[in-house]
Structure 1
């Protein structure tokens, strides 16, 4: 006998019970609420499981990128739990331009050219930084206020350019003799899409050493003609030093050699060249390490130099395009003494943040300590690389002109006239100052 059923009477065979309308509404409402709740939980779990992020574009790739990640990015990610989506490109100018045009720029960028950054600032693509970086940490030539009074960049790393490298054991008299022989200069103009910039470094430095910071500043901000006597003299001095238009094999070597390979003949037997006019970063190249490279001020080897204690400098400059909390946190980190010191040590470069300098008596090569000292010397004049500070169109034409001049110095008048014409193009953005002080 079956157990007694205490619930409602069963329906007749072949018929199903029909729920009430009220019950249907209740069930539907509950199901909807459950679906919404499940969706919210899924979104919440995904959000909690994903770290906030910031995008960063810079030019370090390969070993440089690995060092940058280890020294600068990874400590930031560990401390703030913000993921850095890093993109390294040797063509970062082109990449940034394309991204800005497409409306998808990175949050933070590191560029070498204040001229390019000034143009982005004029187009309202950059965010002012004076509230995000330590006040007074960087000099005027490094964090230049634009016409609107705002600062839009600061240096993560700096280099000295007004120097000449030579192998250990090459005395002053030998260097003086070598400087008079074009074949003894190690010159390489190649650099992919930016070929020619080593030539611009030469002409800029010659102008600075011969004519001083005031003339240099006028020229760098577009107020001095390319056909003026001081600028023309800088070009012709460079021609005499490196033999522009002279021995075909020598000119061909300079034009065909990548700048990073220019020092290769330093270690050959017999030595193929003795002197290299190049920024401080070149000391880390294998050939100069092997030759135990030393440096001296370029003014000692430039004819007509006036000894004005002025140094051409360059830097990797940080700028902000999106003011998200994560991006602002990264800006503060990159401007901090700890990050600046860590990157300087890892890259063997230099910080111009006074608080990021090595402690007195700390370990390190003497050449490195002395170069670092020059970059923060209050008695020296530091002038930013003029072509990097020029509008991009002028900068690029200048680089191309040095290549043409090296092969055909007789074209100088036409080249300078073309550069003057380009200078007069309406709408160009010029950086107001490139030197931290003008005596």
Structure 2
């Protein structure tokens, strides 16, 4: 029982349930569509079902899947499952996870939809080359130059919590750019911001207490609120971790080397001010459509936002609805999180409260549905009035976020036909061979 309990804790730390549970689906039964730059990936059934899950996996099979990205049948997983991070797990924790999923999870005999990516990404065997180039299979080794707390934080952040999988920029072949670790990256429709110690681009101005509070609750008043996949991590994972582990994670993240983004002038947490000019709500803000009959950004704000965030933008008095100034979503150089919040809303539940904002992306038949043009007008009004006024949102920006975020350049190659795809595979193989030859012999 102790081993299963330990495995359950590690599964929570790894946030397995968030990705492997579809909306209104059964826990760990898979089927959740995950937007990636190369297409939609469906999470798999990881219950101990003998037919549809991992019930036939041996402990070795399980270890190969989570640490090497190789299924029981020998096929490769896509790194949407963050085995590149889980490779850090030690043998004891891998054994505990296996015990939990085999004996602590109820089997669900329901197949998950199969992932079908465009050519050449649909060739799973190509991941063997990708892994040869980019997968570090060495388990975590403690650094004797740092404290026990720091090393525990490193083990969790680099491994179970897989923070770099979202917060580290990706290269052309979708590999993590280790030279810019935790420097911010697009994750589907949301942007996982820079969380390095840089005082302008990252969270270098945050205190240890603020970072702990954010990981635990998903909010730091006057600075940031978690939404999207980070909101899910808080809801399903971080809020349940031991306080010593949360403190350790904060200690490690606070030590992350600073990575500065020259485009992000000034910190995203202090941009904008409370608006004292209510004339803009009467439509004199200048942010309007060229088409007669299309509402202005101010009118859209008044009709959809002012009742919660207030006309002045300071939010509600109890802090439930955040201010629109000194807010990372309105103060960032990249406006995608503001767009995504308007489109998809926020629904984050913790032990002490639920943070809820309805989404306005909806279907055309929904009463609250806003068009791409509406959201661009609304977003620009919010930025100009309360946030980073030099950031501009276009209808194309909204359309891209509405459809799951930007696509990888590899998609363009795929659309170029099989010949282009074959060239990519050849280049990957050549790069792998060159890399292997450059490695010193053991």
- TM-score, normalized by the shorter chain, greater than 0.5: no
The higher relative CO (CA closer than 8 Å, separation ≥ 6) is in 1
Report the TM-score when normalising by structure 1: 0.21
Q: Which one has the largest radius of gyration? A: 1
TM-score (norm: length of structure 2): 0.21
Larger % of strand: which?
1
Q: Which has the higher helix share?
A: 1
